[in-house]
Every structure is written in structure tokens, then in C-alpha cells.
Amino acid sequence: MARMNENGFIEKGSNYRSLIFYKKTKVLYDMTFWFKNKYLSHGDRTQDQMVQAARSGKQNIAEGVEDGLLSAEMELKLVNVARASLVELREDYEVYLMAHRLSRWDASHERYKKMVDYCYVHNELADYQKYYEQWSEEEFCNVALTLLHQADRGMCNWLQVKERVFIESGGIREKMSLARRTAREKDNKIN
């Protein structure tokens, strides 16, 4: 979580690469790229749209967290853009399942809990890449949908925390004013 630098108003940022929801979007980008090459027809517009939605989700998290060093507003907006891109990707995976008459797994499916538990604790590319050749289209889509749900949940929690931090600490203009007032008070005490 970003916090105010003790010497001024520029915040020390979080390392977006360490965020669990970012790691999940990184996996999703790789999975989606692989999925489109294996299962979607060449020239199908859905190919590019899915890959771009996955990329946008991942990239907007990175940009948003970095922008958050100076702008809570930009951070909130960009992380929400990431969420919206991943909603688009989720829709594409759901439509694929429906169009191909494949099952969307829910709690009644025998493999659902095991899949959800696996996705919950595994957040690195290598955890998934080893299965790409083995998974059926149905397995691929359901794992992607699970990761999408978990990433979305993580981003929603992140946005709520950032909202609380903003309410408690204010934005960059307030921090700049406070830093300037503090510096003036320090100068006045010296003189």
C-alpha cells in the first residue's frame, strides 16, 4: 500500500508485480494468447479482442498503481479500466463455452472446488503453462473464468482500500499543501 513519504508528499508505491490480482492477470494474458492460437479460427476478430482485453487488464493495473504515486484519481480510474477489460474477457470465455455447448463449471461440478482452490493459491505462469497442452477447451475456459473472478475480487478489495486511504489521508493537493505548511512552520521555528 502506498504511504506518504516522511520528507514530503510523493508517496512510496506498492510494487504492482507483487499484487496477487496483477499476477493472476499476467497468467490470464499468457493463457488467453495461447488459447486463441489453439482454439480460435485464424482471422476471427475475437482472437484480437480477447488478447487485447487480457493485455489491457494487466497493463492498466501496472499503469494505475504507478500513477497512484501522485494521483489517487488516476489509480482508481485505471484499475477500474482494468476491471472493465477483464469483464469483457470473461464475457468472451463465457460466450465461447455457450457457443460450443461446453459446460460452465459451478459448485455442483465434481472438479469445481479443486480448480478454485488451485487457482486461489497458484499465481505464477509456470503453475499453469504445464497444463496448456493437456487441457480441453472446457477446462481452459473454466480455469480462465476462475482466475478472472479471483482477479476481479482482488481488484474490488484494492479499490475499497484505496478509497479508505483517500478518505483518511486526502489526495495529492492536500498532501502538497500539508508538506508546504510543515516546511514553513519548520523554517519559522528556526528563524
Instruction: Tell me the per-residue pLDDT of 17-66, one tens digit each, with 9 for 90 and over.
Output: 999 999 999 999 999 999 999 998 777 788 899 999 999 999 999 999 98
pLDDT at position 171, please? 65
| Low-confidence residues in the chain, pLDDT < 70 | 1-14, 170-180, 191
Secondary-structure breakdown of the chain: helix, strand, coil percentages, each rounded to the nearest 5 = 75, 0, 25
Burial 77-100 (b: 16+ CB within 10 A, else e): ebbebbbebbebbbebbeebbeee
Question: What does pTM read for this prediction?
Answer: 0.84
Please give the grid coordinates belonging to residue 140: 481452459
